[in-house]
């Protein structure tokens, strides 16, 4: 596929993501399904990388485009004709990644380089090769060669210099950090106001970097060291997770479902922070567990592993279609103690992994950083409290209630839990430390030791919240 056609496909996907109500991942999946006969696996990998990197830096790119009138100067009826504006954003991201490989290391642009005399040539030269067979592209080509690159370099260098001059969590620092890492200033200000101790200067770049793939080893079938060895034997770089004793981290994405060890149920894909919910629950072997917001069942599978498949785990979810994968995943993992049911049991442990803003998962779904607002958080928090209250009814006397979200915001986390405890005197906060220590999980919990918030710039995980409470007999 020619480079200009590759970029045009990137632009089409980017436009579709911005116009879709579905998640970026789901939209991408549908796009590739429709074009499966036209786009090969290597092209799909690059298109995904390029589009998601562009989304992460969209505000940075858009400001440059607006200042310099780039879209008007790169108009041509035969170049990027399916989604011209969005294709130009992708082109600019590719050029930034080529010119500043350290700052934009998440996009490997070597795939864009043509060869001449046995050597790779630049992205601009490669595009010129494509333009040479298209009529009346001289103005387009001249702007690329003579103006665009120098303007783009000068713009990014200025942004970087301005950001580096800021030294505190002042309003100016927030604005400069927001500009460099493509956050809305009001969004970062809202986060800073909500979490005054948060180091925005380190939080923002961490949240604007792609998340690594995390595996959770199914310890009933495999040993973590053996899984790492097998991954290495398959040419897959990986290392031990720093927090979860079952976690393996893969810095790069790989096709894992074709591996024999995946088909044998040796591991599942689950972020390291999410794995900690199982340890926070700390189930006894015969406990009845209600996973009230189970989704695809990742946490239920972990608990079944911790129980050696000897307990009873009932999965439910407000969105019933989310539960469809649980049976397949349980069979793959060799677990027989997991079932789905609309009928709620009285349980020793109730997990409430509440629907949330996803503010802790911006590394995986960067579109969210443009859509989360203070108003949406207020609406979500109200629903979260109602969900927690509803499912708390199914905790047995002396049983345990685990509340978690993939959000970093107190409005969805500790404020919900504190309100719940104030209004439900039959529940009490329960320290997490003894249960984490039981599994060799070592974290600094601070004074409020019954909950913890994890951050990507501190814990190298998704942003995540976990709290543990007990129903007093």
Give the residue numbers annotated as catalytic, written as ranges.
406
**Contacts by 136-142 with C-beta closer than 8 Å and gap 24+?**
136/76, 137/76, 137/78, 137/79, 139/73, 140/74, 140/76, 140/79
Collect all residues with Cβ–Cβ distance below 8 Å to 329 and sequence separation of at least 6: 268, 296, 297, 301
Name which of 327, 326, 287, 329 is nearest 309 in CA terms.
Answer: 287
Q: What is the DSSP string of 339-385?
A: EE-SSPPPEEEEEEE-----TT-TTT-GGGGGT--HHHHHHHHHHHH
CB 283 within 8 A of CB 311: yes
CB 403 within 8 A of CB 417: yes
What is the three-class DSSP state of 124? helix
Question: Quick one: tokens of 172?
Answer: 């100016």
Q: What is the CA radius of gyration of the chain?
A: 24
What is the three-class DSSP state of 427? strand
Residue 5 CB burial class (10 angstroms; 0-12, 13-18, ≥19): middle
Q: What is the DSSP string of 297-328?
A: -HHHHHHHHHTTT-SEEEE--SSGGGGGGHHH
Question: Quick one: tokens of 448?
Answer: 């409020």
Tell me how far apart the alpha carbons of residues 300 and 302 are, in angstroms, rounded to a whole number: 5
Distance (Å) of CA 247 to CA 131, 306, 463: 48, 14, 16
Residue 199 CB burial class (10 angstroms; 0-12, 13-18, ≥19): middle
Order of all β-strands in the sheet with 247-250: 239-240, 247-250, 213-217, 267-269
Question: Quick one: tokens of 208?
Answer: 């604007």
Question: Quick one: tokens of 400?
Answer: 């345990």
């Amino acid at each position: 596929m020619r480079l200009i056609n590759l970029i045009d496909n990137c632009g089409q996907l980017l436009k579709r993501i911005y116009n879709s109500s579905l998640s970026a991942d789901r939209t991408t999946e549908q796009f590739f399904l429709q074009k499966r006969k036209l786009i090969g696996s290597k092209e799909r990998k690059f298109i995904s990388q390029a589009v998601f990197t562009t989304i992460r830096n969209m505000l940075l790119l858009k400001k440059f485009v607006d200042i310099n009138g780039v879209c008007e100067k790169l108009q041509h009826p035969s170049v990027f004709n399916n989604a011209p504006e969005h294709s130009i954003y992708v082109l600019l991201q590719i050029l930034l990644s080529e010119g500043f490989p350290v700052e934009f290391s998440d996009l490997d642009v070597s795939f864009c380089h043509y060869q001449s005399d046995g050597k790779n040539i630049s992205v601009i030269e490669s595009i010129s090769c494509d333009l040479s067979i298209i009529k009346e592209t001289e103005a387009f080509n001249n702007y690329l060669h003579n103006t665009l690159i120098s303007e783009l370099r000068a713009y990014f260098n200025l942004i970087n210099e301005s950001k580096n001059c800021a030294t505190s969590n002042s309003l100016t620092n927030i604005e400069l950090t927001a500009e460099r890492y493509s956050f809305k200033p009001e969004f970062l200000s809202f986060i800073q106001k909500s979490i005054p101790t948060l180091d925005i200067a380190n939080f923002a770049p961490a949240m604007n970097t792609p998340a690594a793939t995390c595996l959770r080893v199914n310890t009933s079938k495999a040993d973590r060291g053996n899984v790492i060895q097998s991954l290495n034997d398959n040419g897959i770089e990986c290392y031990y997770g720093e927090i979860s004793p079952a976690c393996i981290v893969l810095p790069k994405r790989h096709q894992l479902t074709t591996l024999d060890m995946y088909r044998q149920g040796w591991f599942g894909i689950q972020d390291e922070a999410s794995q900690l919910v199982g340890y926070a629950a700390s189930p006894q072997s015969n406990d009845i567990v209600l996973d009230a917001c189970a989704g695809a069942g990742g946490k239920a599978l972990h608990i079944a592993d911790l129980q050696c498949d000897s307990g009873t785990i009932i999965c439910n979810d407000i969105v019933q279609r989310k539960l469809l994968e649980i049976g397949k995943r349980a069979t793959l993992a060799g677990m027989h103690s997991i079932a789905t049911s609309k009928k709620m049991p009285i349980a020793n442990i109730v997990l409430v992994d509440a629907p949330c803003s996803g503010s802790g998962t911006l590394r995986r779904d960067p579109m969210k950083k443009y859509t989360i607002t203070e108003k949406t958080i207020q609406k979500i928090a109200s629903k979260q409290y109602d969900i927690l209250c509803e499912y708390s009814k199914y905790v047995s006397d002396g049983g345990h209630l685990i509340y978690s979200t993939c959000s970093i915001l107190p409005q969805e986390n500790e404020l919900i839990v504190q309100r719940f405890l104030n209004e439900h005197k039959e529940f009490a906060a329960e320290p997490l430390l003894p249960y984490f220590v039981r599994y060799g999980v070592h974290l600094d919990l601070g004074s409020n030791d019954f909950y913890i918030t994890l951050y990507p710039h501190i814990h190298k995980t998704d942003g995540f919240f976990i709290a543990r409470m007990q129903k007093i007999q």
